[in-house]
Structure 1
Amino acid sequence: MPRGSKTKYTAEQKRKAEHIEDSYEKKGVSKDEAEARAWATVNKQSGGGEKAGGSGRRKPASAKSEDRKESARRAVVSREGQSRNSKASREGQTVESLRKEARDRKIPGCSSMRKDELIAALRKAS
């Protein structure tokens, strides 16, 4: 039997665990193992029993919207003043995007270069 009290679980979570347990038992898993797996599955999917504070744990849509706007504003501020060819801009690119840019500029040997070599070659070619 799994450890811990199941009193904090919702009726839906209990039904789900019972259904999962039944399906494991039909597959030939022992009753104790089936019950343990069922509760482990419920815990993984929903994070355990009822949480303190009920449904108020989630952010309202307006708060999420404000967070997205703030994140976008910070991103714009962090990009300001960085040209496409700046060191900070190139450092943020992936090796593949740097290789593509080097191929477009017809830089020889770019397929075997490391990231720092690609950045130096692109800077030299600018």
Structure 2
Amino acid sequence: MPAGSNAKRERQYEHIKDSAEDRGASPQRAKEIAARTVNKNRAQAGESKTASRSSIKDMSPQKRGGQRSHSGAQGPTYDQLYNEAKQRNIKGRSKMTKKELVDALGR
């Protein structure tokens, strides 16, 4: 847990760490995710002595909610969508665009 924090931040750290481990992150990676999230929240709330400009100006990690996760800029590829459509036996898939495949798959 980051130094200089209060009981609320301790609880937040433990909750985030446990959630990350439940999602399959290693214990070390879970600690890193939790510490970074809590530190950013402390900086945005004015609870830390030093904070980077990006920590203060950027949206909170909770609000962002994975918008910058590693799913890629455009999500799944055309081939991935096509293979899923093939498995689901969607008619006309060979003539569909990527957007049409996304719509047909209900994504």
TM over 0.5: no
Which structure has more relative contact order (CA 8 Å, sep 6+)? It is 1
Of Structure 1 and Structure 2, the greater helix share is in: 1
**TM (normalized to structure 2)?**
0.39
**TM (normalized to structure 1)?**
0.33
